């Protein structure tokens, strides 16, 4: 490995430089990694990085990506989404694959190659869609939420393609192809059954055992073990590594550890997925482009036109307004990173040759660039074509399961449980996290949405999109933990109000300085409540008592502390 150290350092330096620039201009970092691959690839001028183990490491990026997607699409959630999003998502991918496949087959490509092009062109970039919608303030609009939900579900539909495409490279005759596909699908069912029963009987108890250690290192090692073991299982059956990762994620997505698992795997996924896209960029051959550029333009147009029209027609049939249907289609028209991943799978399986691979890669890249422009101006384009004002507010027509009033509770001990009961009594949605599996089990036994997770972990906060919360209540009893949680929340989402539990006045002051809106010291508050109860028994007016308590709080409790600051 030492002989490759200089190349590794060069790779890291170029990657950091490119990604920083792309993040500064709010360009999806996946495109930055592709550019790094082009710069350091063998087909361009300048230094070339050649590391034998590179491709093997990069493949694990897709494994962890599918694992994360599986976490967010457990069996219960897939069942809950079976109507609108599930139907539209699968319908769009199937229709686009069929239409593009037939067109490319009529253009002279063989049936397996045409199928690959259809599958590749059917994918859309969730990264580009989500980042642009957030930047434009359209993430809560009807077309924004519908389009983003469909794009996320496209990632799930890529799993069957990962199973099927490698089979196409070893089969020629129709009967042999059908038999091979049947065997592959049978193996997929077998793998699903194995991982399903393992998840039911082994994974849950394993993570309960690991979480009791309250060791982030052990928990992360357990996540890596499970995801890679599932990948090895499907690989042993002749299927892809990524398929096993997806199945393991699906099973763990049903447990209370889902959010913490996603937080633990995120660093590995992001780094290795970056390597994967660098590897795809290294496949780019600029010398081939002059000979195929007309076909590349036609391919990009086919991607944009087919998905825009098909998605708009399908969404319109559900009764949604024409302009919203068109705006949804314009968002999903963009090319997708998963399409590039499928191209890599097809190249490795020898389903398509290098020239067709270059055609597919360049078509998707061009469609990603042009598709981003369509997303940016989706409202203007829809208004000009549908002749309907786009200023109408559709943000209130939200998809089921979405709410902007959710409260996040950090810690489900005595105080956290009390807060949860009060919120539940007023039908206010909330989600609670605790690093003690016993408290998590107690909360779930109460029928509340309590999950295993460390509220101080920035990765967990990012995984649950804490920036969407209406309020965060930090109820952990350890002062250092509470201070760390408030600091992280203040840094990641300063717009979200945070109230915290404090043991004493000194802790309350530190929490307020860290960003908490309120931090009530328990010891002093207990004294105030006791004094208020005494005043009530002495027939003092309730309004006077409330005003007195509020004055004490407004003055930082100094009136009751006097010269003695002990708590």
Flag whether 402 is in a domain.
no
Residues 24 and 139 grouped into a single domain: yes
Number of structural domains, the chain?
A: 2
Residues 306 and 226 grouped into a single domain: yes
Flag whether 400 is in a domain.
no
pTM, rounded to two decimals: 0.70
Each residue's pLDDT tens digit in the chain (567 positions)? 566 788 889 999 999 999 999 888 877 787 888 899 999 988 888 888 887 777 777 778 878 877 887 887 677 766 666 665 567 878 889 999 999 999 999 999 998 899 999 999 999 987 778 767 766 767 667 788 788 778 877 767 777 888 888 888 665 545 566 676 677 778 878 888 887 787 778 888 889 899 888 888 999 999 999 999 988 888 888 777 888 888 888 888 888 888 899 888 888 888 888 888 888 888 888 888 899 999 999 999 999 999 999 999 998 888 888 888 999 999 999 998 789 889 988 998 889 998 999 999 999 989 988 998 899 888 888 888 886 543 333 333 232 333 457 899 999 998 899 899 988 888 889 999 998 888 998 999 888 999 988 898 887 887 788 888 889 999 998 888 999 999 989 888 888 999 998 887 788 888 988 989 888 787 676 666 676 777 777 787 888 777 777 766 665 555 555 544 444
**Residues 334/125, Cβ–Cβ less than 8 Å:** yes
Flag whether 398 is in a domain.
no
Residues 229 and 349 grouped into a single domain: yes
Residues 349 and 246 grouped into a single domain: yes
Flag whether 396 is in a domain.
no
CA dist., res. 439 & res. 333, Å (int): 45
**Residues 475/518, Cβ–Cβ less than 8 Å:** no
Identify the domain boundary among 354, 386, 418. Answer: 386
- The length of the chain in residues reads 567
Angle at which helices 322-332 and 142-168 cross, to 10°: 40
Flag whether 221 is in a domain.
yes
Output DSSP code: residue 564. Answer: -
Identify the domain boundary among 334, 352, 386. Answer: 386
Flag whether 397 is in a domain.
no
Looking up residue 532, the CATH number of its domain turns out to be 3.40.50.720
Residues 110 and 192 grouped into a single domain: yes
> In the numeric block, which tokens belong to residue 467?
């920036």
Flag whether 401 is in a domain.
no
Closest C-alpha among 81, 91, 111, 104 to residue 171:
111
Residues 150 and 230 grouped into a single domain: yes
> In the numeric block, which tokens belong to residue 224?
């890596």
Identify the domain boundary among 341, 357, 386. Answer: 386
SS3 409: strand
Looking up residue 204, the CATH number of its domain turns out to be 1.20.1530.20
Residues 90 and 219 grouped into a single domain: yes
DSSP helix, strand, coil percent of the chain (3-state; round to 5): 70, 5, 25
**Residues 371/334, Cβ–Cβ less than 8 Å:** yes
Residues 377 and 416 grouped into a single domain: no
Residues 296 and 263 grouped into a single domain: yes
Residues 245 and 136 grouped into a single domain: yes
Cross-sheet strand order for the sheet of 471-474: 450-452, 430-434, 407-410, 471-474, 498-502, 518-521
Closest C-alpha among 292, 311, 320, 368 to residue 99:
311
Residues 152 and 300 grouped into a single domain: yes
Residues 423 and 379 grouped into a single domain: no
Query: 193: domain range?
Result: 2-44+53-386
Partners of residue 520 on adjacent β-strands = 501
């Amino acid at each position: 490995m030492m002989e490759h150290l200089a190349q590794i350092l060069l790779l890291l330096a170029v990657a950091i430089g490119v990604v920083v620039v792309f993040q500064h201009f709010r360009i999806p970092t996946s495109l930055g990694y592709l550019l790094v691959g082009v710069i350091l690839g063998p087909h361009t001028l300048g230094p070339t990085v050649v590391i034998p183990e590179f491709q093997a490491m990069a493949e694990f990026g897709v494994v962890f990506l599918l694992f994360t997607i599986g976490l967010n699409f457990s069996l219960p959630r897939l069942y809950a989404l079976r109507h609108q999003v599930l139907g539209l998502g699968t319908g769009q991918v199937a229709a686009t694959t069929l239409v593009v496949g037939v067109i490319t087959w009529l253009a002279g490509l063989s049936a397996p190659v045409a199928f690959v092009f259809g599958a590749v062109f059917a994918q859309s970039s969730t990264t580009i869609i989500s980042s642009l919608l957030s930047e434009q303030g359209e993430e809560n609009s009807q077309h924004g939420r519908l389009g983003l939900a469909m794009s996320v579900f496209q990632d799930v539909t890529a799993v069957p393609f990962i199973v099927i495409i490698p089979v196409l490279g070893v089969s020629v005759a129709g009967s042999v192809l059908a038999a091979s596909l049947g065997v592959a699908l049978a193996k997929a069912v077998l793998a699903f059954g194995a991982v399903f029963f393992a998840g039911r009987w082994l994974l849950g108890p394993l993570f309960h055992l690991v979480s009791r250690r309250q060791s982030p290192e052990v928990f992360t090692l357990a996540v890596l073990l499970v995801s890679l073991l599932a990948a090895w299982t499907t690989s042993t059956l002749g299927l892809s590594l990524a398929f096993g990762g997806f199945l393991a994620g699906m099973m763990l997505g049903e447990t209370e550890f889902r959010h913490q698992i996603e937080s633990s795997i995120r660093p590995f996924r992001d780094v290795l997925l970056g390597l994967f896209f660098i590897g795809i960029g290294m496949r780019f051959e600029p010398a081939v482009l002059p000979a195929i550029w007309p076909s590349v333009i036609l391919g990009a147009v086919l991607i944009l036109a087919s998905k825009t029209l098909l998605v708009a027609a399908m969404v319109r049939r559900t009764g949604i307004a024409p302009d919203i249907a068109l705006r949804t289609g314009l968002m999903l028209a963009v090319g997708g990173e998963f399409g590039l991943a499928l191209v890599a799978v097809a190249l490795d399986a020898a389903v398509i040759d290098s020239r067709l691979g270059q055609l597919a890669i360049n078509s998707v890249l061009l469609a990603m660039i042009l598709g981003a422009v369509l997303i940016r101006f989706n409202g203007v384009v829809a208004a000009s074509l549908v002749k309907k004002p786009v200023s109408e507010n559709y943000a209130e027509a939200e998809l089921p399961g979405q709410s902007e009033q959710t409260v996040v509770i950090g810690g489900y001990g005595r105080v956290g449980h009390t807060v949860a009961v009060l919120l539940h009594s007023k039908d206010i949605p909330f989600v609670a996290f605790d690093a003690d599996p016993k408290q998590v089990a107690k909360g779930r036994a109460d029928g509340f949405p309590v999950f295993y997770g460390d509220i101080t972990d920035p990765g967990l906060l990012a995984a649950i999109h804490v920036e969407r919360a209406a309020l965060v209540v930090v109820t952990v009893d350890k002062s250092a933990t509470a201070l760390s949680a408030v600091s992280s929340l203040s840094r990641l989402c300063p717009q979200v109000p945070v109230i915290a539990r404090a043991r004493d006045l000194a802790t309350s002051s530190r929490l307020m300085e860290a960003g908490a809106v309120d931090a009530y010291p328990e010891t002093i508050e207990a004294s105030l409540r006791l004094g208020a109860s005494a005043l009530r028994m002495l027939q003092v007016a309730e309004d006077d008592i409330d005003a007195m308590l509020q004055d004490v709080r407004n003055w930082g409790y100094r009136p009751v502390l006097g010269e003695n600051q002990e708590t």
